[in-house]
Each structure stands twice: as C-alpha cells, then as structure tokens.
Structure 1
Amino acid sequence: MESGKWRTLLGLLPLLLSFLFFYFDISTKPSTSQCSLISHSHFWIASKRIVTPKGVISGAVEVKGGSIVSVVDGDNWRGTVKSGRVMDYGEAVVMPGLIDVHAHLDDPGRTEWEGFPSGTKAAAAGGVTTLIDMPLNSFPSTVSEETLNLKIEAAEGRIYVDVGFWGGLVPENAFNASALQRLLNAGALGLKSFMCPSGINDFPMTNSSHIKEGLAVLAKYRRPLLVHAEMEQEPENESDLEDGGAESARSYSTYLKRRPASWEEAAIRELVSVTKDTRSGGSAEGAHLHIVHLSDARSSLELIKEAKRSGDSVTVETCPHYLAFAAEEIPDGDTRFKCAPPIRDAANREELWAAIMDGNIDMLSSDHSPSAPELKLFTEGDFLKAWGGISSLQFVLPVTWSYGQKYGVTFEQMVSWWSEKPAKLAGLNSKGAIVTGNHADIVVWQPEAEFDLDDNHPVYLKHRSISAYLGTRLSGKVLATFIRGNLAFKEGKHAHDACGVPILAK
C-alpha cells in the first residue's frame, strides 16, 4: 500500500479506537458473576406475554452480550436452545424496562436526601432500567461542564441502572452560548429550566427570553429543553394568602389555593409563544420543548394541544401521583402529598386520565423528589413549610397499572408511556423497545399479583417514611429486572455490583 494511504489509515486509528471505546462503554457491558444474578451472558427469556412493537406475543427474547439478538414468536425456538439457558416466566409480562426521564437523586452534595446507590437500587426493584437525573437538588446544581463532571464521577461504580443527566438552563448561562455548548458537549442529554423559584438557591428561575436562547443552542444539537411550567400570579382572592394560623396551614386546600392552575396556564401561554421557533423553518428548528409534570388538565392542556396542532415541537408528561390522588382525599397535616405543581381535584384527575388515554399527554415520569424526613414530615403538618416532592421511584409501575385498571390501561400503553416515548425524548436509540439490536433492558412482572405497600414490603429508597404511597394496596409485582442483559434484580435481591452505566450524549 502507498505510504500516503498508510498515513491516512493511521490518522484515522485514534478516531476508530475512541468510537469502539464509546460503543462498548456506553452500549454494552458484559455480564459477570458480580454484575448479574445469573452467570451466563447468552440466554432466552420466555413468556406467553411479551410486549413488542408488533403487539403482545407468546415466545422468547434471545439475549447475548447485553443486547437483544432475536425475538421469536411461538415455540419453534425451543428445540435449538441449550439446557439451562431458558428463563421461562410463564404468564408473567415481559416488556421493555421503564425509562424515567424525571428523577432527582440528589447526588452529589445532598445524599442524606437520596443518592445514586439507594435511588438506583429502588429503580431496579421497580422495573426502571434507565433514569435521567435532574440537574437540581444535588449540590452544586448541574449548570456547567465542571458540575456535570462531578455528577459523572459520583455515579461511576455506584449506579444499579443506567443513568443519564439533564443540564440546567439558568440566567447565568442562558446568554452564554459557549457555556451551554460546553455543557452539552460534555454529555448532557438536554437542558432543564424553571419558570418559578425552584427552591434551590443555585438554580434560579428563567423567563421566556432565557428559554428562547436555550432553544437556539439546543437546535444545533437536536436535544430537548424541559421546563417546569409555573409562573407566579397575583391571587384573584387576597384571602387566599392570609395567614389562617397553624390549623389552616395543616389543610391541603390552603396550599392548593396558593398555587392555582392559573400559574401553569400563564407559564404555558408564555412557552407556546416561544415554541413557534421550533417549527419547520423556524429559528430553533431541531430543538424540542418538553413540559414536565403537568397537573392542570384544563386550560393548560388546551394550550399545549393547540401548539401541537400548529406544528410546534412540544411534548408533555404527567406523573402517577396526579393520576392516583385527589386534593379532596389528602388528610390534614399529611405533608407526604405536597408537591409542585399541586395535586388537584378529583374532576381534574379524571380529565388527566382522559388526556393520557387519548394521547394528548405523551408520557409519564416519576418526578421522584425526596428530601430528609425533617424537611418533609417534621413540620407539624404544615403544608406551607414542608418540602414539596413525592417520593415514588420504586412504585411507579404498580401505581400506574393499579390506578389505570379503571380506565382499561393496556400493556402497550404502559410501554408507550414509560419506555418508547421517554427513550425518544432523551435520544436513547438503543432503548425503549424489545427489538433486535436494542439493549436487553427488560422488566418481568405479574400484573395480577397484589401486595400491600406496608412496613413488611422491602423499600430501597433512603427514606421510606416520606412516600405518599405507603399504606396502599397495589397490583403489579416486579419479578426481575435486566440491565443490558445483566439480571440486576430478582425477587428482593440485587446483583452484588452496581453495574449501571452513565449515559452521555455524543
């Protein structure tokens, strides 16, 4: 070969090696006895209910080296499989692992609230195989290349599921395109901002001007901007802000009046004036805006629907706690139920269910937002003082299924809300569906199995006492969770090593 061609090939070698390193580091990690509760990396998962993009089938999923290498409908595969390599789950449901695009694990800096080990163990126990960690509640907040690197370092060797990271859009970086580019180049899957005070000092709120600038940068990367859509408004009734004393503060209605649906409507009205830029030919074409944890199923949702009809690149999520609970049912002083936006009335809950069932709400997330018990519970039942956030990560699968039975929720809808659409939002092209070539991220669960979420039920979150779901009876027991082919959780037992992988956008 001519010397010039040799030089060209040698020049490409570092690029090729870096690609191979990225592929094997991020995409697959071979099963070992420490990463997995089984010793082999080539096996079959069989069931009479496997949820695939083509429907629910009876058959088997072949897993090899961390990936799905075949999906077989029927029993023709059985004669070719080596003895001992089949995990037959009978009537249990086999479906893609859940992808939670909205979780706060508070690591590093506030691990007394949660942390990567406890949070990801809980995720695995709940069938969540991938989660995207929010840029706030940890300390420092993830608003720069340097602070993202702190997140990545904290995650290495301490995560039991795969974890990606959103970066933060805040006033200090919004008008600094190079700072945002460094954050995105470092691996942030997208950005997140608040349109109201976040409650975290180093994560200040943004306005529509900041959001417009963020979308312009994100357009070049084709990554999303997630927005907490509430804007403070003057109360229509001044008495809503009057101090009614300790007894009034113990009433959930007092908190609800101080954070009305008009806050969401005002923020979303402002947002849809900006999302026009994401249309074909717009200044932010390629960017995408995602509205997190919608609780208002009325005026706010109508604005989102109209923006979609107009061609804006926008999606919206809600959370299981808005579908499970209603304001009228929350006991006085039970601050486990405080979150922002608030849980609204029962009629609104019905409208949220209608919206997600008909596709006007795109997906679900946990918005797992824990804190130390003294911030959540030890406030004498004062809803105005307690930390706002629902602790839920381990329970979202059975909660969605249990409360969804009234509305006829299907396995295919569960996959759409919790796997396929979240994977698309986060740009996870190898996750979210049981298809050949994807990561073998799989949850096996029994929809008919009921259990009481009581003191005897194992909970892996750092603070079980702060969860609003304790004391409920649920259906949908997780039997096994596979992370890239590793059996990471099986009936109350986790793999010895934390073999989840940090997911970085490239």
Structure 2
Amino acid sequence: MTGYDLVVRSRRTVTPDGERAASVAVRDGRIVAIGAYDDALAAAEDIDLRDLALLPGLVDTHVHVNEPGRTHWEGFASATRAAAAGGVTTIVDMPLNSLPPTVTVDALDAKLRAAAGQCHVDVGFWGGAVPGNVKDLRPLHDRGVFGFKCFLSPSGVEEFPPLSPSEVRSALTELAGFDGLMVVHAEDPALLAEPVGPTYREFVDSRPGAAERSAVEQVIRLARETGTRVHILHVSSADCLEPLAAAQAEGVRVTAETCPHYLTLAAEQVPEGDTAYKCCPPIRSAANRDRLWDGLASGVLSCVVSDHSPSPADLKVPSFAAAWGGIASLQLGLPAVWTEASRRGHGLADVVRWMSTQPAAMAHISRKGAIKVGNDADLVAFDPTGVNTVDAARLHHKNPVTPYHGHLLKGAVLTTWLRGRPADGVPHGTFLFGEQ
C-alpha cells in the first residue's frame, strides 16, 4: 500500500512541533505520514494550500445542542453544520438544556437516538450530576460519557438543579472511584443576587467576580480532599486566576477554560438592551479581559471553548434582568479568537493549543487535537488574513442571534475535513465515547 486517499500540503502546517511547511498524508480517515512540503506522494487527491494555513480540527468541549426537547433552540443538524463551517470537527454536548437532561443512561440513549444520522462532525457527550443521581454516575461513565457537569448555583432550567457543597463532595467521591472528571459551573449562590434593574451594569453587579472566585476556591478544596479531577468551566473573572495557579502548582487536579466572548468582548462595549451579549457568568471589563489573556499565556487557563448556548430571539428580550443568558458563537470562535490573539502577538500554534490540543487532552478524547501520525485526519484550511463582517442571518446556527453580528473578524475557514472527508453538507460524523 503506497498510495494515499488524500494529501494536503501547506507552507503553514501547524503541528505539535510548531508551524512549518509540510505535507499531510491520509489513508482510511487517519493521518499516516507527515513529510516535507514538496514530497512526491501518490494520492487520489493532492491539495496544495500554498501559504494558507493547515490546522487540526478544533475540539469544542462546551456546546449546548439542546436536542431533544428544545430543538427549536438548536439541534444536532444545525449545531454540527455550524461547527464544521467554523473549523470545529469535534464537539462534546452538554447535558442541559435538552429534555430530558443527560442525567441517566436512558436519557443518554434518548439523545443518541435524536442525534443519529444528523451529525456533520464527531460528537461526544457529558453526563450531568444533579441532586439524587450519584447512583447514575458510574453507569453513565460505563456508557461512555466523557465526564459530568454540575452547577453550584441555579442553572436557569428547573430540570437541572444545582448541587450543594455536600452533594458536590458525594459526587466527587463517587467519581474518584473510577477517575471520572467533574466539570463545574462555578458561581457561589450566596454571592449572587437578582438584578435591581434591566441594564447591563446592574446585571454584571448581580454576578460579581467574587462569586466566581469563592466557588472556584470551594471546588479546589473538594478536589484536594477527594483527589478527583475537576475542570472549571467558562472562567470570566480574572480573580479566579490566583487560586487556580496556586492549586495547580500544589498538584491539585484542576484545569480551567475560558471562552471567546470573554477574550474578545468587554462590558464597556455592550450596547444597552442588546441581550445577545447576556451570559452567565457575564462579560466583564476590558481590564479583566487583559488579565484573562495573561492567564492563557501562563497556562493557568488551558482551553478556549465556545459555551455555545443559543436560544430563539424571543427569549432575548431587551432587559438584562429578564432575558435568557447564553452566547451563540459556535461557528465564530476561531476567527473571533484569532482576531484578538494575533493583535496581541500570539500565533496560530497558540490558538491551536488552546482550541484543539488542550480541550482534547482535558476530556481525554483520543486521536483528536493535533496533526500527528495516528490521529484522525480532522483538518482545516484557514486563511489567517481573510476578513469578514459577521451577518447572523448567514450563520448555520438555528436562530440568527449572536453578539458578533456586524463585527469585523479576521480569519476565514475555507475547508474542513472530518477524518479525511470534506464536511460538505452530507452528515458523516460519528459518536465518540470515553475510554473505560
């Protein structure tokens, strides 16, 4: 066997060793060789990107698909089509806001049935940890979820209630028995309040950075006591960086992520009444944003993932006190982050590490996250100099609501390959399951 199914060449191939000129050879959906840019290789298809970049497919471990149950908010067909258009070849679906939430094996099976035949990218699943379902955690793990999500404060949907500190300890103790992973929405409910009015400032004041830091400190203490792996979701407050850095230096098994909207948007720029910008925890100040970038550069924050949490436009009423909180951005994460990262002196290798390699490593998703021999041939042709103005109506998200509407973003996804096949509108994604 000397021929390949596909060869993709680029003078800007981003590999684990950095950016270099290379050819990537694919057979049976896997990367089987990486050679010099001008290697003579026999292949059914040979594509030369020249000076366009070749990236590994992104891995987005924080996506709310919402199907079944709230499929009018989003669904597997629309979400995964948007993912592919944005250079994301793997998503991990959150256990809410679907109905039923993924807190039992039966609920996971219902989600698998709903998603079957619809997926344009590969899809894995988180389970949920809610009051009373400790007995369901091991069966869900054995069924292949990549870990479990819990809230410390109300989630916004009544069918997915938060855990008390004692319930978090019980769940972590259970997970420690099989080296499971808990991913945590960390806001301390004791430090949250109802907004006193409809403005953005009043909304941010109701969810202060101190609530995030307090919750992160609680989770770190419990992780230290139980030895369980924990991951802090969507860090918006840079005040969390200090306890996270100290815990990581101590050897506590804690990692953390942030999101494109916290890295690219700022509270000072939020138009009053434009609740497409509302999310929990909230977008904070430009000075806070700078500190989050420092957290990425230092490695305290390891992942950048979307927290794609869409809703219909009628739930985004023009009151920050009353509107649904969630950012829709699955298709836009790569250009949004690249726009700001390149301005701050970061390279494509940094973006790939934050948005592909480290999310895959955090969730223990094998064969994803890097252009290397043996991995799935999930590849992205990316023009780092392309410029586009976002038109929400032209995105593949089910509902045309995003705070990026009208924003000028740098970088364009030209082609996405999933296991060596173009993501060309025909669903050929597969389900991914965690290793037992």
State the TM-score, normalized to the length of structure 2. Answer: 0.96
Corresponding residue to 1:306 among 246, 252, 257: 246
- Check conservation: 1:223, 1:427, Cα contact below 8 A: no
Tell me which residue corresponds to 1:228.
185
Aligned to 1:255, the other structure's residue is in SS state helix
The CA deviation at 1:477 is 0.4
Corresponding residue to 1:142 among 102, 109, 113: 102
Tell me which residue corresponds to 1:6.
none
- Check conservation: 2:263, 2:292, Cα contact below 8 A: yes
Corresponding residue to 1:441 among 365, 370, 378: 378
Tell me which residue corresponds to 1:180.
137
The CA deviation at 1:406 is 2.2
Tell me which residue corresponds to 1:467.
402
The CA deviation at 1:427 is 1.2
Structure 2 spans left out of the alignment, 5+ residues: none
* Mapped partners of 2:263, 2:245: distance in 1: 19
Q: What letter is aligned with 1:429? A: S
Tell me which residue corresponds to 1:66.
29
- For residues 136-176 of structure 1, the C-alpha deviation after alignment (integer angstroms, 9 at most, x for no partner) is 011110001110111111111111000000000011113x3
Corresponding residue to 1:110 among 70, 77, 81: 70
The share of aligned pairs that are identical, in percent, is 40
Corresponding residue to 1:502 among 412, 431, 436: 431
Q: What letter is aligned with 2:270? A: I
Corresponding residue to 1:256 among 198, 204, 209: 204
- For residues 248-286 of structure 1, the C-alpha deviation after alignment (integer angstroms, 9 at most, x for no partner) is 41x210101111111111111211111113xxxxx43xx
Tell me which residue corresponds to 1:430.
367
Aligned to 1:95, the other structure's residue is in SS state strand
Tell me which residue corresponds to 1:271.
219
Aligned to 1:274, the other structure's residue is in SS state helix
Tell me which residue corresponds to 2:126.
166
* Mapped partners of 1:95, 1:168: distance in 2: 32
Tell me which residue corresponds to 1:10.
none
- Check conservation: 2:26, 2:420, Cα contact below 8 A: yes
Task: Please provide the CA RMSD for this pair.
Answer: 1.6
Give runs of aligned pairs for residues 82-101 of structure 1, distance below 5 A. Answer: 82=43, 85-101=45-61
Q: What letter is aligned with 2:203? A: Y
The CA deviation at 1:241 is 5.8
* Mapped partners of 1:361, 1:439: distance in 2: 26
Give runs of aligned pairs for residues 315-330 of structure 1, distance below 5 A. Answer: 315-330=255-270
* Mapped partners of 2:341, 2:20: distance in 1: 22
- Check conservation: 1:41, 1:485, Cα contact below 8 A: no
1:348 partnered with 2:288: yes
* Mapped partners of 1:413, 1:241: distance in 2: 38
Tell me which residue corresponds to 2:149.
192
State the TM-score, normalized to the length of structure 1. Answer: 0.83
1:398 partnered with 2:346: no
- For residues 281-328 of structure 1, the C-alpha deviation after alignment (integer angstroms, 9 at most, x for no partner) is xx43xx310000001102x22111111111100000000100111111
Q: What letter is aligned with 1:289? A: V
1:458 partnered with 2:394: yes
* Mapped partners of 2:302, 2:115: distance in 1: 29
Aligned to 2:133, the other structure's residue is in SS state helix
Structure 1 spans left out of the alignment, 5+ residues: 1-39, 278-282, 489-493
- Check conservation: 2:195, 2:206, Cα contact below 8 A: no
